[in-house]
Structure 1
């Protein structure tokens, strides 16, 4: 009788999970599988081919797009994590009216629509924008930042979006470090740098890695910022995918590029999964 009841409870559990499982399969798994299959098909004959992938790794312009995307994303990740970590340290360990004010305001960019933020940044960094006007007013110098349609403009805009997000995650990790642990180390004569190097940094490294993976995956497929600020060549992969799908109507190459972007992001996703599986070792 107990076995029968256990089997019924198990079947009820499966029945409750089944709708969510089907939704995931239909909205996530099926499109991914369909794109992978389409990426290996010829657009005209439907036969198996590797030409769709070969196009992106042989064509010079497409190689530049991949290299340009990786450059922008890696620089964004490094700068965002370094700045966010310093900001998180300040918010965690400095108790002052200024730190409390910053702690209240630093998340403000997360609540501003992306399109609005990009257009606001354009008015600042374009050659006739706010920076140029201030330079003319104060120094009588026609300073042109040259950030529009350039990697520097994309990176600045990406930092504006990603620093608050990364700082939020890292601050949460730093907040989990007990003050008593740090105070004990200080009481036995450990310097601030030693406490940071041997205690704070190791205990917060997991959150740093997780934040870096999210920033990486977010920017690989970004569209709004590179569409409005990026140049015509080279392009971010999100714009290259848009061109293949909407401008050239080459759905098989679009599928291949989608798989390539997925594989690039899977490296970061793998690091994220590994970090979570090793959570006890991090602790």
Structure 2
């Protein structure tokens, strides 16, 4: 189920999310049938977050699940034999052994969200705008390319920091496997 959004174009998903949470959308209509009032989330940061999760989730799930599958069952069974419960097994065995794939999935997702334009443009509020939309407005609508260049450089610095984390995770993974 988590991979289904991968096959839905971002523009269509953004429009669907916007109409789903609008004043005349599905959720509001269903809640009205039972006499409850549901807030209008269209054109708010809530819809931007929902849209970003919707578009980022499939790829992240694929990457994290491949990392979780690499954890040997023998380690999980050993933890259970030692008396560890499910939560303790997850925290002490599974997450540390799958840390590198989780970090890589997180960095890919973060870069995608930092560079996203479509979801914030369609579903976000008019003010404050998300960074990608603001860069576009400053460059084309406001005719202030200097401000958009500064914003682009800031995004580049953020993306470089995320990329450094990705390189560190790959280096650590290669070192653990004895390739470095």
TM-score (normalised: structure 1): 0.58
Measure how far apart 1:190 and its partner are: 3.5
Alignment check: 8 A CA contact 1:169 1:207 kept = yes
Number of equivalences = 177
1:189 shift after superposition: 3.5
Q: Which residue of 2 aligns with 1:116?
A: 12
Q: Structure 1 residue 164 and structure 2 residue 91: aligned? A: no
Matched, 1:214 2:108: yes
Equivalent residue runs for 1:139-154 within 5 Å: 139-141=34-36, 143-154=37-48
Query: 1:144 Cα shift?
Result: 4.0
Q: CA deviation at 1:282?
A: 5.5
TM-align CA RMSD: 1.8
Structure 2 distance, partners of 1:251, 1:191, is 57
- Would you say the 8 A contact 2:18–2:43 is kept in 1? no
1:48-97 deviations in whole A, cap 9, x for unaligned? xxxxxxxxxxxxxxxxxxxxxxxxxxxxxxxxxxxxxxxxxxxxxxxxxx
Q: Which residue of 2 aligns with 1:66?
A: none
Q: Could you give the per-residue CA deviations for residues 98-147 of structure 1, whole angstroms, max 9, x where no partner exists? A: xxxxxxx321101111111111111210121111111111x123x24231
Q: 1:272 aligns with which of 163, 166, 171?
A: 166
Question: 2:17, 2:88 → 1: CA distance?
Answer: 40
Determine which of 95, 109, 131 is the counterpart of 2:27.
Answer: 131
Task: State whether residues 103 and 166 of structure 2, in contact with CA within 8 Å, keep that contact through their aligned partners in structure 1.
Answer: yes
Q: CA-to-partner distance for each residue in 1:137-172, whole Å, 9 max, x for gaps? A: 1x123x242312211111111111122221111100
Identify unmatched segments of 5+ residues in structure 1. Answer: 1-104
Question: Hey, what does 1:236 align to over in structure 2?
Answer: 130
Q: Secondary structure at the match of 1:149?
A: coil
Show structure 2 runs of 5+ residues with no match: none
Paired residue for 2:74? Answer: 180
Moved more, 186-195 or 228-237: 186-195
- Judge which range, 255-264 or 110-119, deviates more: 255-264
Q: Greater helix percent: which structure?
A: 1
If asked which structure has higher relative contact order (CA below 8 Å, sep 6+), I would say: 1
Give deviations 1:189-215, integer Å, cap 9, x for gaps: 443333222211100111111111111
Separation (CA, whole Å) in 1 of partners of 2:109 and 2:155: 15
Counterparts of 1:113 and 1:192, CA distance in 2? 37
Distance in 2 between residues matched to 1:156 and 1:282, nearest whole Å: 36
Indicate yes or no: 2:90 matched with 1:196.
yes
Q: Give the distance between the partners of 1:240 and 1:128, measured in 2 at CA.
A: 28
Alpha-carbon displacement from aligned partner over 1:11-55 (angstroms, at most 9, x marks no partner): xxxxxxxxxxxxxxxxxxxxxxxxxxxxxxxxxxxxxxxxxxxxx
Greater shift, 195-204 or 181-190, is seen at 181-190
